[in-house]
């Protein structure tokens, strides 16, 4: 396979007329590049940077953006033999045309790069070879910080990007730092990237007195392309960052005035890849782990120490040149990075990002995002989730698996030359069985902890109009094999969702119209459907609901969500967008997806102004205004009434943000926002609507020059609620120190104080209360204080041998200063309970003398709701102190390309105490007295390219 090809810029923003391409463009000849050029056709070696920086006539600019003749037929070399050592002394490089004349993307877009770059590219039978020289008149200032693979840092870098289908939306990016650290990304949706994508490739660098050089070998087995008997065109680009001046330059300018990235690549013509290379990979692994933690007396399942071992393999098969089948046998889905400690006092689930390698790889091809943050039709952490079954009544000790075992999983991903993207996944988790021990009977018993479950996802997307328009869809399905005894009737038996998405861009991708429509359908016993109707995403049981109610006989539920958005994405200064959307009450995707949204009508608008050209004060800056508003469908009860819409207003905000980078490389960001009064459908946890007073917020963030060995950042924010609805103050910062290019230390303290006078506590109907529909809703006046200290140490002995240490101690207190009852629905009015003294009533009960609430020695609050002298109900005291230390240490050695040894230590220490007030000395001392739960893991994998 010996292609001939040429490269020319295609699409994107043309550099301004003052740009004068240099170097290889001096002669105005076609840019012919390849592994099979006529002998002697390459340009003569350039003796120094001066010849590369000579100016050329401005009219040459037009030649760079105009069509160039195709390359002549390939003759000469048939094989490429390059020793990848970074020295560029292989004779084969003399046969390749040299590309230079890089354009500055920042700080000043469109001018010639201050320090040019020269690139050569060759195709071999099974790999692509790239060589580059980064000219630099101050080689002593080249940044050479060493970090872990895929890490970011203070270093010079060079990158090559390939759009192998010329779809102007997807591609591959390979980057090498001046210290030899590799980074690779899969590019998709034109301007998004997935840095979890990992390929196995080679690179080497060399620093000398003229700058630095790099050689890269990219096996064709690591990328997807369509083999063809005739020459084809690919997209290509090269970029460079020079740390000393923070200059970023490109071969084909990636303009910040345009939203896309891949669509601005140059065109590489005449690429001849006549056959697909074999793509079969296996990555077997061995894992050994030791768990040590506190043991409970009498617990027969854990005596404080447990050792385990396992083995398995991940397999990857190339299906032609465009598709890949991934499969896993006895997979290892253990996490190296621990989930952060979180205190969740809301009604909604906490989102944790996916960290398991099998699911992270090519995750974008299975994603279908919805409105609002992390909401998605597919949330891979549902597969292998924690078992949901309860233990038998009366059990003293229980042994339940941490996660459902994945019996097998396979996925197919790829993209055709015609612009069709495909992603499909199948997975099966086994029925999990737990064991319980009843000490009184000295008896063990088994119980089902999780039923067997099957999962399926299929996503397709087709490009049109040169990648400027797309139509795509997704289908997800889940099926549980529930037992016939009804013990798991609280779970759905099956769940389905589907989605259709479109995007159309026009006027050179300046304007865009996009949207999606999704639907969901779940089935199960009436117990499961009733539970979901009453969950926090729905709250159909609300007593004042006018459009929803609980149907206790229902065995299915269906809903939908849609969104339509019009945007101006491209412009020298101004961009904007406007959108509308809707989510119906029956939409439920949390069996296989993730959503915290509930029914709503949605609308919003944003407008932004940016200045990318440096001024006397700023290198660049931008301003943006953003507003959104959500309304319950109950607004439509009287659609012509302003009051109906006001009371149905569930959330909204007016926000103004400004951020910029100063000429001294410092940065700043200022956020100002105002939230109007809204009416919450969730604050009473299924009770009536409650008013949520508005608030204002201001936040400021500053950072020093991140390129320096010592850099600092700090942030402060303050929010104040209207109508005495609470406040929040937080301050934090980060100190990063790099004593040497191989060592980085960072310390990030954060302190916050929050006052919430309406933290939900409980509800009761012991004494009916008509203003809130018969039930009484109890809230607490909560004072929260949290101190956290995120600490990291990164030691990189080489680009392939790194040690990382992470620790996050956190102390949080929650002091309930008083308790109160909601006085009326649709209000923020409360009846404050007055604390009294515990007394005994004539009937042997508890009474509160001198007040209507009092606390007994067992930390129970007793409330006299009707003030008749006797307590009507009680609840436990909610004061808390949470002390947590989460940490891990990871030694990673990539002992050969694609093959890695991990040595991991994970530690967790945490406890809850019912103290309430914040005392740093006491809580810190108590934290280190908490028994530790430690896990030690050694994992070895070996990559085989077959």
Supply the DSSP string of 637-649, one letter for each residue: GGTT-HHHHHHTE
Q: What pLDDT was estimated at residue 43?
A: 32
Distance CA 342, CA 882 (A): 10
Better-predicted residue by pLDDT, 415 or 144: 144
Distance CA 7, CA 30 (A): 9
Sign of the four-CA dihedral 265, 266, 272, 277: negative
CB-side exposure of 187: number of CA atoms within 13 Å?
28
- In three state form, how does the secondary structure of 803-864 look? EEEEEEEEEEEEEEEEEEEECCCCCCCEEECCECEEEECCCCCEEEECCCEEECCCCEEEEC
Q: What pLDDT was estimated at residue 35?
A: 32
Token pair listed for 582: 């809707």
Q: Which of 91-100, 108-117, 684-693, 915-924 has the lowest mean pLDDT?
A: 91-100
Distance CA 733, CA 471 (A): 44
Q: What pLDDT was estimated at residue 75?
A: 25
In percent, the amount of the chain with pLDDT more than 70 equals 90
CB-side exposure of 69: number of CA atoms within 13 Å?
6
3-state secondary structure (DSSP) of residue 220: helix
Answer whether 913's CB lies under 8 Å from 812's CB.
Answer: no
Distance CA 221, CA 80 (A): 16
How would you classify the pairing of strands 830-832 and 556-568? unpaired
> Taking residues 41-53, what's their average pLDDT?
33
pTM of the model: 0.85
| pLDDT band at 595; cut points 50, 70, 90 | very high
Better-predicted residue by pLDDT, 317 or 353: 317
Answer whether 564's CB lies under 8 Å from 580's CB.
Answer: yes
CB-side exposure of 101: number of CA atoms within 13 Å?
25
| pLDDT band at 347; cut points 50, 70, 90 | low
Closest by CA position to 453, among listed 401, 493, 484, 489: 493
In percent, the amount of the chain with pLDDT more than 90 equals 69
The 10s digit of each residue's pLDDT in 431-465 is 999 999 998 888 999 999 999 999 999 999 999 98
Q: Per 3-state DSSP, what percentage of the chain is helix, strand, and coil (rounded to 5)?
A: 10, 50, 40
Give the E-state strand segments of 526-617 in sequence order.
Answer: 556-568, 574-583, 600-611
Answer whether 272's CB lies under 8 Å from 1's CB.
Answer: yes
65, pLDDT greater than 60: no
Closest by CA position to 157, among listed 230, 79, 239, 89: 239
| pLDDT band at 225; cut points 50, 70, 90 | confident
Supply φ then ψ for residue 340, to 5 degrees.
-70, 155
Kindly give, in sequence order, each residue whose CB lies less than 8 Å from that of residue 831, ignoring residues fewer than 6 positions away: 820, 821, 823
Supply φ then ψ for residue 705, to 5 degrees.
-65, 115
Q: What pLDDT was estimated at residue 469?
A: 94
Looking at the DSSP bridge assignments, the partners of residue 677 are none
Supply φ then ψ for residue 737, to 5 degrees.
-130, 135
Closest by CA position to 830, among listed 748, 874, 769, 891: 769
Q: What pLDDT was estimated at residue 417?
A: 79
Better-predicted residue by pLDDT, 749 or 63: 749
548, pLDDT greater than 60: yes
Please tell me which of 190-194, 257-261, 480-484 the model is most confident about, judged by mean pLDDT: 480-484
Angle at 14 between CA 10 and CA 18, to 5 degrees: 140
Distance CA 198, CA 314 (A): 14
Q: What pLDDT was estimated at residue 55?
A: 33
146, pLDDT greater than 80: yes
Closest by CA position to 791, among listed 810, 813, 772: 810
Residue 83: Cβ within 10 Å count: 11
Q: H/E element holding 157? A: strand 157-163
865, pLDDT greater than 80: yes
| pLDDT band at 340; cut points 50, 70, 90 | low
* CA distance readout (Å), 863 to 225, 324, 767, 806, 836: 71, 64, 11, 46, 10
| pLDDT band at 38; cut points 50, 70, 90 | very low
Kindly give, in sequence order, each residue whose CB lies less than 8 Å from that of residue 297, ignoring residues fewer than 6 positions away: none
719, pLDDT greater than 80: yes
Q: Residue 920: left if φ>0, alpha if ψ -120 to 50, beta else—which one? A: alpha
Closest by CA position to 564, among listed 604, 519, 600: 604
Residue 339: Cβ within 10 Å count: 12
Distance, C-alpha 798 to centroid of its chain: 28
679, pLDDT greater than 60: yes
Token pair listed for 724: 């005495």
- Cis peptide upstream of residue 107 (ω within 30 degrees of 0): yes
How high does pLDDT run on average in the chain? 87
| pLDDT band at 286; cut points 50, 70, 90 | very high
CB-side exposure of 334: number of CA atoms within 13 Å?
23
End-to-end CA gap in the chain: 19
> Taking residues 650-673, what's their average pLDDT?
97
Distance CA 704, CA 733 (A): 12
Better-predicted residue by pLDDT, 79 or 244: 244
Better-predicted residue by pLDDT, 596 or 605: 605
Distance CA 78, CA 74 (A): 9
Supply φ then ψ for residue 375, to 5 degrees.
-60, 130
Supply φ then ψ for residue 96, to 5 degrees.
-105, 140
Q: What pLDDT was estimated at residue 3?
A: 40
Closest by CA position to 259, among listed 570, 26, 20, 713: 570
Q: Please count the helices (runs of H) and the strands (runs of E) in the chain.
A: 6, 50
Distance CA 271, CA 274 (A): 9
Residue burial 686-699, b: 16+ Cβ < 10 Å; e: rest: bbbbbbbbbbebeb
Q: What pLDDT was estimated at residue 500?
A: 97
| pLDDT band at 333; cut points 50, 70, 90 | low
How would you classify the pairing of strands 232-242 and 157-163? antiparallel
13, pLDDT greater than 60: no
Distance CA 430, CA 405 (A): 6
Answer whether 185's CB lies under 8 Å from 781's CB.
Answer: no
The 10s digit of each residue's pLDDT in 696-706 is 999 999 999 99
């Amino acid at each position: 396979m010996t292609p001939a090809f040429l490269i020319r810029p295609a699409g994107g923003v043309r550099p301004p007329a003052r740009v004068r391409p240099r170097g290889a463009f001096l002669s105005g000849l076609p840019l012919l590049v390849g592994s099979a050029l006529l002998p002697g056709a390459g340009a003569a070696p350039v003796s120094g940077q001066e010849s590369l920086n000579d100016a050329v006539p401005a009219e040459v600019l037009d030649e760079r953006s105009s069509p160039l003749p195709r390359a002549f037929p390939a003759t000469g070399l048939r094989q490429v033999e390059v020793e990848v050592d970074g020295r560029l002394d292989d004779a084969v490089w003399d046969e390749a045309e040299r590309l230079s004349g890089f354009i500055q993307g920042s700080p000043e877009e469109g001018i010639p790069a201050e320090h040019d770059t020269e690139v050569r590219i060759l195709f071999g039978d099974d790999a692509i070879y790239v060589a580059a020289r980064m000219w630099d008149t101050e080689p002593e200032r080249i940044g050479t910080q060493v970090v872990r693979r895929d890490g970011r840092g203070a270093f010079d870098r060079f990158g090559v990007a390939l759009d192998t289908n010329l779809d102007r939306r997807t591609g591959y990016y390979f980057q090498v730092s001046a210290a030899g650290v590799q980074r690779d990304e899969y590019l998709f949706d034109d301007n998004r990237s997935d840095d979890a994508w990992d390929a196995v490739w080679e690179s080497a660098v060399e620093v000398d007195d003229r700058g630095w050089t790099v050689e890269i070998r990219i096996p064709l087995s690591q990328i997807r392309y369509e083999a063809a008997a005739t020459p084809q065109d690919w997209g290509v680009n090269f970029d460079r960052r020079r740390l000393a001046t923070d200059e970023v330059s490109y071969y084909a300018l990636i303009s910040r005035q345009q939203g896309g990235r891949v669509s601005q690549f140059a065109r590489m013509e005449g690429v001849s890849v006549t056959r697909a290379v074999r793509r079969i990979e296996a990555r077997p692994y061995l894992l050994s782990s030791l768990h040590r933690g506190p043991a409970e007396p009498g617990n027969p399942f854990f005596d404080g120490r447990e050792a385990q071992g396992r083995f398995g393999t991940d397999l990857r098969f190339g299906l032609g040149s465009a598709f890949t089948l991934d499969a896993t046998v006895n997979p290892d889905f253990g996490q190296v990075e621990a989930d952060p400690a979180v205190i969740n006092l809301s009604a909604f689930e906490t989102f944790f990002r996916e960290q398991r390698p099998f699911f992270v790889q090519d995750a974008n091809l299975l994603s279908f995002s919805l409105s609002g943050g992390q909401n998605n039709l597919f949330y891979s952490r549902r597969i292998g989730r924690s078992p949901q079954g309860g233990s038998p009544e009366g059990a003293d000790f229980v042994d339940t698996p941490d996660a459902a075992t994945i019996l097998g999983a396979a996925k197919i991903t790829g993209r055709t030359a015609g612009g069709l993207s495909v992603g499909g996944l199948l997975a099966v988790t086994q029925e999990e069985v737990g064991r319980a021990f009843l000490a009184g009977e000295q008896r063990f018993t088994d119980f089902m902890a999780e039923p067997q479950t099957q999962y399926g996802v299929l996503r397709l997307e087709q490009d049109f109009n040169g990648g400027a328009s797309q139509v795509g869809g997704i289908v997800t399905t889940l099926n549980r094999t529930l037992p016939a005894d009804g013990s798991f009737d609280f779970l759905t038996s099956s769940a389905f969702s589907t989605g259709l998405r479109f995007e159309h861009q026009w006027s050179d991708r300046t304007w865009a119209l996009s949207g999606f429509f999704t639907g969901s359908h779940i089935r199960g016993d009436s117990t499961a459907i009733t539970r979901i109707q009453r969950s926090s995403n729905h709250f159909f049981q609300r007593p004042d609901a006018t459009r929803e109610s609980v149907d206790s006989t229902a065995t299915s539920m269906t809903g939908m969500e849609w969104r339509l958005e019009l945007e101006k994405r491209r412009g020298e200064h101004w961009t904007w967008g406007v959108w509308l959307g809707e989510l119906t009450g029956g939409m439920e995707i949390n069996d296989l997806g993730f959503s915290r949204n509930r029914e709503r009508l949605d609308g919003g608008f944003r407008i932004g102004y940016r200045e990318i050209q440096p001024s006397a004060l700023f290198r660049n800056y931008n301003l943006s205004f953003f507003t959104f508003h959500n309304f319950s469908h109950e607004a439509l009860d009287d659609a012509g009434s302003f009051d109906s819409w006001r009371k149905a207003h569930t959330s909204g905000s007016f926000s103004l943000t400004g951020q910029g980078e100063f000429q001294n490389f410092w940065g700043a960001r200022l956020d100002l926002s105002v939230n109007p009064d809204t009416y919450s459908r969730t604050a009473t946890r299924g009770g009536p609507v409650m008013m949520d007073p508005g608030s204002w917020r201001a936040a400021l963030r500053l950072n020093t020059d991140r390129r320096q060995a010592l850099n600092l950042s700090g942030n402060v924010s303050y929010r104040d609620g209207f109508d005495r609805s609470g406040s929040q103050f937080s301050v934090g910062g980060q100190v990063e120190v790099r004593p040497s290019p191989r060592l980085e230390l960072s310390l990030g303290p954060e302190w916050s104080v929050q006052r919430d006078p309406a933290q939900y506590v409980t509800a009761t109907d012991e004494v009916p209360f008509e203003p809130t529909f018969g039930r009484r809703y109890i809230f607490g006046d909560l004072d929260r204080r949290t101190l956290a200290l995120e600490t990291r140490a990164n030691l990189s002995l080489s680009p392939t041998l790194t040690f990382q240490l992470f620790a996050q101690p956190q102390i949080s207190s929650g002091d309930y200063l008083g308790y109160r009852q909601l006085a009326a629905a649709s209000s923020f009015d409360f009846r404050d309970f007055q604390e009294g003294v515990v007394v005994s009533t004539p009937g042997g009960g508890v009474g509160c003398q001198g007040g209507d609430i009092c606390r007994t020695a067992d930390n129970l609050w007793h409330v006299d709701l009707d003030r008749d002298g006797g307590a009507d109900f009680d609840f436990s005291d909610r004061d808390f102190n949470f002390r947590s230390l989460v940490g891990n240490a990871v030694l990673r050695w990539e002992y050969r390309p694609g093959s890695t040894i991990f040595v991991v230590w994970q530690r967790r220490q945490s406890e809850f105490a019912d103290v309430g007030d914040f005392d740093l000395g006491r809580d810190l001392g108590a934290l280190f007295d908490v028994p530790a739960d430690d896990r030690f893991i050694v994992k070895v994998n070996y990559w085989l390219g077959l």
